Structure 1
């Protein structure tokens, strides 16, 4: 039986860490003067590459951790701390500033830096490994990848409608949404740390 609470938590966590709303103005900055067809191609390609990377870590990430001798409990704590630092960046606007600093005149930014590391970065990779490990067997990665597809779809839609949404929300609107998502991510990251401590028997 599919755990609805797990799916909702997974979607919220991945959505917050990938932050499609925050990526939208960055996508626009990477594609100045391009035709709608070129922008569509870059949007589809970046989301497809990012999904492939996340799928790879969803299925084999825990095996890699086991190979190097890292327990899932330890990774939960480390991943929670990493996500908490990301949340702080969102709350204090440092994350968006770093993204904007990466904007260069790359001919095709779909693979780098849009897909990697902006969509499939350390935070989202850690998240899919953590979430996949919460459900035993192959069902965990499959559920997480299903959620990842929905998040990628939202990101794709925002990329395609980026210029319209950016004008509608404005800088203030995007800033408010990013900070709210940062607060939510901070709470979720603490939960990951507590789960890891519980696995160690400290809580």
Structure 2
């Protein structure tokens, strides 16, 4: 693989995983987790996302070809899930003090949904790793390099999530609530864009236009 290919793959995976865009999702999903458990929360989310993405990198193409699934279907489904989550971020009411205290929990299930999936290991990211490691076009060594690029981006995502915790401590609950709603709007926009791209991939936009 030449440097141009490495750069292209890095940019592609960085965009579809979107480490920066994952920060508001993390702040929202982790707001009820005890502060001393948030590092573990972020680590679990990244590790789960890594397992999912690496699994699809290895056997994803076989699964998709067997089931006959298309990228557009993944994009539409993922976009709908993200949009529903964005609505909760925008319209969700602030918790009273007693409810926040009750929410300080040891349960880290939020690391799976929505943080690990569909935020980090998004449908776009899953399909991207499958496309970049096409068994018909790339060798095992090239797929290994792609896997290393993927792991490096996930490591960067984890570091950004750790910084997000510090940011939340500085801005407080009010600031976090404001940011959550603003980023909810951004996430809703991203979700709608994913749905539209999925419909275009499925040729449904042209069908509706006619």
TM-score of the superposition, structure 1-length normalised? 0.66
Q: Which has the larger radius of gyration?
A: 2
SS of the aligned residue for 1:174 comes to helix
Question: What do the CA deviations read for 1:81-131 (whole angstroms, capped 9, x no partner)?
Answer: 22211211211127999xx7994754xx5xx42543353134443343144
Is 1:129–2:131 an aligned residue pair?
no
How large is the Cα RMSD of the aligned pairs? 3.9
Instruction: Provide the residue aligned with 1:22 in structure 2.
Output: 28
Q: Distance in 1 between matches of 2:94 and 2:85?
A: 7
Matched ranges for 1:34-49 at <5 A: 39=37, 42=40, 45-47=43-45, 49=47
* Unaligned ranges ≥5, structure 1: 32-38
Instruction: Provide the residue aligned with 2:112 in structure 1.
Output: 116
With over 3 angstroms needed to count, the CA separation of the structure-2 counterparts of 1:41 and 1:181, relative to structure 1, is closer
Q: Please say if residues 54 and 125 of structure 1, whose CA atoms lie closer than 8 Å, have aligned partners that are also in contact.
A: yes
Instruction: Provide the residue aligned with 2:158 in structure 1.
Output: 152
Q: Please say if residues 77 and 197 of structure 1, whose CA atoms lie closer than 8 Å, have aligned partners that are also in contact.
A: yes
Instruction: Provide the residue aligned with 2:138 in structure 1.
Output: none
Q: Distance in 2 between matches of 1:18 and 1:172?
A: 14
| Residue 52 (structure 1) shift | 3.2
SS of the aligned residue for 1:121 comes to helix
Is 1:67–2:69 an aligned residue pair?
no
Q: Distance in 2 between matches of 1:149 and 1:13?
A: 10
Q: Distance in 2 between matches of 1:196 and 1:105?
A: 37
Q: Distance in 2 between matches of 1:199 and 1:187?
A: 18
| Residue 181 (structure 1) shift | 1.5
* Unaligned ranges ≥5, structure 2: 135-142, 206-210
Instruction: Provide the residue aligned with 2:51 in structure 1.
Output: 53
Residues 128-137 or 83-92, more deviating: 128-137
Question: What do the CA deviations read for 1:122-171 (whole angstroms, capped 9, x no partner)?
Answer: 44433431443565644776655443322221113334x4xxx4442122
Instruction: Provide the residue aligned with 1:185 in structure 2.
Output: 187
Is 1:170–2:185 an aligned residue pair?
no
